[in-house]
Every structure is written in structure tokens, then in C-alpha cells.
Amino acid sequence: MAENKMDRMRELVSLLNNASEAYYAKDEEIMSNFEYDKLYDELTALETELGVTFADSPTVQVGYEAVDELPKERHELAMLSLAKTKSREELADWLNGKTGLLSWKLDGLTIVLTYREGALQKAVTRGNGEVGEVVTGNARVFRNLPLNIPYQGELILRGEAVITYSGFEQINREIEDEQAKYKNPRNLCSGSVRQLDNRITAQRGVRFYAFSLVRADADFHNSRAAQFDFLQEQGFDVVEHRLVTPENILDNISYFEEKIQTYDVPSDGLVLTYEDMAYGASLGRTAKFPRDSIAFKWADELRETTLKEMEWSASRTGLINPVAIFEPVELEGTTVSRASVHNISIVRGLKLGIGDRITVYKANMIIPQIAENLTQSDSLEIPDVCPVCGQPTRISQINDVQSLYCDNPDCDAKKIKAFTLLVSRDALNVDGLSESTLEKFLARGFLHEFADLFRLARYREEITQMEGFGEKSYQNLSESLERARKTTLPRLLYGLGIENVGVANAKMLCRHFQYDLQALRDASAEELAEIDGVGGVIALSIYDYFHNEKAMEQLEHLLEEVEIEKQETSGAAQTLAGMSFVITGSLAHFENRNVMKEEIEKRGGKVTGSVTGKTVCLINNDTASQSSKNKKAKELGVAILSEEDFIGEYLTD
């Protein structure tokens, strides 16, 4: 009965969220207010009855937060890797006559969750198995994760954060730049979970599947399957699993093998664990692996083919990526004819040459890769000129990896990517200028430097005659560009495309220099390097950019076309420079945490999401609470101050 109610809760969450999206985002009404309220009340009642609230439930508002860094934390129990095999018969022998639990080995990012008193307290990535990164704020926006559970004791579990293939493909479809597309769901998931701003995590549709219970004070009758049942009762989605014996394990492997062909959740194999927990624990562990579990990896489907050509693809940064083009082959049910080779080191390691016989496979059944070069002619010529601009290339080596670059600042490939960045949402935010449109404008000579974006009116007649462009499209673009003329310094700075300067760094630099662009331009490399969060590499990138004569000439032209909004600064002395603070709980003097955070940052301080040894103090009006942040502060000897005490000690001039 409880399981049916949990399914009903998930159904209600989906129905209500779809109705809200239709109403607010698409201006469509797919259910009446009366029906919505009725379903909402039903969901609320079920959440109260079962003690479970999902992160995407419309009854909760999960707060968004941005942090400057992800604090690291040592795992209480080390997370070991698993011994692996590709032999089905070896799995049957490994059972040694026992019953086992066979489940998916999901391909995402492993997360350890801690719940106390029925509420999610902490989420930490696997990291290196000994130390992981704290991503609690990001876990709170996983699509299917319960924020509250009925169990009131301490519950620690492990699971995999994943992004489905369909979600991965949808995100990539929305990215026009081929070079900017994500390589595979695992990398996208890892980057999404480890974001400093959990709004991005929320947009990516990350899901969580539990695969192991670490701690809970309950009697599971020595059964792994009972632990999984318990986790399902708490509202967790658990990895699909089956009880197996030496007699039926091969049939069950075949079941998973058939299902993976259409399974939407990335998986790179299976995990076999002894059902008898005591027996598994009695086996102990080796230096690297536990002996109670083993991983089964799918044998890769290999196909032999012929390398026809190597395509060299240039990017905004100057990196030129090799892409192998080969005779089409069928792999895992699809036709494949190209695979990224990534860099020069791999090209040379494979000893590639046009006409070579190669074997190819799909990593995790999705990403085409070259497995082996059977011919090894080693005759492939590395281009000495850029395929786009024809200027000389160079090979650069970083950490034993060689890559090919084009250094021509006027290379069209760089221009396209540079303009694409400038008009992107986080920069000038110009609607109607896709990468393909920019490419057409560049090809026709409409654009030579950034300022030319705001001079397109001189080409109005030609633009309105272009395919896909009419008077209406031109008018929309013109209005969007006029809106973009008024911008902020952080947006402009990010849009310039200075190497290593992202959105967060741009904001931080502007705050440091009190939104004075000239002060930033005049700063020495040494001064820049001393800024907290910058360092030598980024400092040199910024210094070199602002001391490049041509770049500065073009920047001056751009500044003539845009209006930078004046940023209100308090003029407060940098009394909190170099200090880190954490804010938690409700506030009385400040409207919300973001307002308080801005006040701290104006004075040079930094606000992070978790208490660490570097934290100066934890700001919490409930100084006596037993929250995880308070406990952590006490453990580390970090002061816990009320809002009023903090203001008196740190914000009073």
C-alpha cells in the first residue's frame, strides 16, 4: 500500500509540475485551478502521511545558492573500487554457491548522502575515495531526491547521480556550437553536480539512484535486498536489481544485456554483491577492493573499418581537434562513421595513417572511439597550417599531452566563437544571433571586430534579403542589439573572451576593482595574482589581454558603442578582505541571505556554502541549534554569531 502511495506521489508531482510549466512558461492551461488545487492538496496529504518530500515537489521551494568553492571533506569510510571481470562464467563461479544481488553499474557521479532527523543534511562526492567535495546545495535540486524521509535516525547511503541519455541529447540539441557540445552524459553530470551555482544543476535534470546503504539503525535480517526495500520505503529510487544464484545468473545477465539497448540511464556494466551481508563482511577486503562485490563490464562490440581521412576542427581558443572519418560500420544498433581522437598524443600513440585498418567501438555503448590501429602506418601528416585561416600551427605540450593550436588572432574560427561568446546569455545577451547567423555575417564581411555588431544597420538591405531573414527578423535583431547596448561591466568583461576568465571570475574582478575598468586595465600581473581566487595563470591572461595593442584598440571601439551601467558601491573600506563567512537560517535585519552576502562582498569578504577551517564565523540567529553547520563549526572551533552580533563586530564602521 505504501509503495502505491509513493508512486501516486511521484505521479502527482509530475502532473502538477507539467501544469505549472504549461501555465507559466507556455501560457497554456492544461487543468483548471480547481483540479490543480485538488491534486495539490492530495499531494500535501500524502507527503504528511508518508513523511517524504521530493526535491521537485511543488509544495517546496528549494533555495538556490552560489558558492565560491566546493569545500572538501574526508569520508568516514573509504570508498573502494571494485574488482572487475568481463567473463559471465567467472561471475557464476564467484558466487561460490551463494545467492547474490545483481544490479546496474550506473555511469555517473557517485554521491554519499547523510540524513538526520528525517532531513537531508549533507551530500559529498566520491572524489578520490578518501576525500570528496561537499555538494549539498546541488543535491537538493536533484529531480527525484527526497529532501525529507520518514526515518528519523542517522541514515547514510551511497548512490549515483546521473543524467539520462535523452536529457543529455536535449541539452546538446540546444547548443549550436559543435565544439561546445558535451562529450557524454557522465562528463555532463559530473560538471553539473560540481557547479558552484545550483541553478545550473537544477536546469540539467540530474537524478539520483541509491545503490548501497552504509548506516541505519534497523534490522535488515542480514539481507541486502531488505536494505533496498527499506530505501525504497524512504522514497529513494534504487538501482534495478535481481536476486541471482549460480543456476540463473546467466539468464539474468542476458536480461540486463537486452534492456541496456533501450535503457535511458547510462550504465557501463553490472554489480554483483552477496545477498548475505554477514558472509560478505566476513570476507574482508584487499588493499584496493572489497571482497563482497564484483563489477561486470560489458565486452565492447568491436568493428573493423578503414580510416578515410582526418578532419581538423578549429575552435575559439585556437585548439584544433582531430576527428577520424572512417568507412561506416554498425555499432550497438547505429551507423557510425566518425570519432574524436582528442589530441596529437593519441594520434601518434595509435600510429595513424590514411587507409589504415582500425577497430572502433562505442565507449559505454554511446561514444565512438578508436580501439586499435591494425596497420600502424604512422603516416598521418599533422597540418602545419590552420584548416580555416591557412596560418601556421604549433604543437603545444601540457602535462605530457600534445595538442595542435592556431595562433592567428584573426582566424575566422576564433572570430565565430568569440562573437558567439560575446552575444551569449551571460555576456551581452543578444537574441537572434546564433553561431550560424554570425558565420554568415562574417563571411559577407559585415563583422570584423566586436563594435561592428552595433553597426549592422549599414547592411540592413543586404540582411533583409538573406535566406531566413526578412524585415521582421531584422527588426527583432535590431531591437535586441539596442537592448544589449546597455550592459554591466561583469557581463562585458566575461564577453571579451579573456582566457581563463569565466562568469564568476569576471564578477569577482569587478568587485575587487570597485567596477572601475581603467583600474583593472592598469593593474600589474603581480597585483592581479595577489587577488584571492586569481593566481598567476589567470593574472597573466588578464594582463596580456589588456596589454595587447590591437585588443585595446578594438575594446575602445566597443566601449564607444555600449553604455556600462553604473554599479552602486557602498564605498565601504575593505575591512573584510580575505575573510570567509557562512550564512545559515532565517535573517531579521537583512531581507535575505543574498542581500547580506552582497554587503559582506562590498567590504572584500567572501561567503561560502559550507563551514571549513578557513571560515571566520558562521552567522546563524539560532546559535544553539544542533544543525549540521553548527556542529561542524563547533568541531572546527569556528565562532557562531547571531546576525546582530555579526553586524556589531564586522559591519559597524
Alpha helix stretches (DSSP H) within 88-197? 88-95, 136-139, 165-173, 185-193
Rounded Cα distance, 84 and 240, in Å: 20
Catalytic residue among 105, 122, 507, 597, which? 105
Whether residue 472 lies in the annotated active site: no
Contacts of 644 by beta carbon, 8 Å cutoff, 6+ apart: 588, 589
Distance CA(266)–CA(239), nearest Å, equals: 12
Containing H/E element for 176? none
**Bridging pattern class, strands 615-619 and 580-583:** parallel
Read off the C-alpha cell for 502: 569565466
DSSP lists the bridge partners of residue 322 as 312
Measured at the CA of 151, the angle between CA 150 and CA 157, to 5 degrees, comes to 120
Report which of 118, 121, 182 is spatially closest to residue 150, judged by C-alpha positions.
Answer: 118
Q: Which residues contact 417 (CB under 8 A, 6 or more apart)?
A: 177, 179, 315, 316, 317, 497
CB neighbour list of residue 469: distance below 8 Å, 6 or more residues apart: 463
C-alpha cell at 376: 600502424
Q: Give per-residue burial for 559-582: e unless 16+ CB within 10 Å, then b.
A: eeebebeeeeeeeeeeebeebbbb
Enzyme catalytic residues: 105
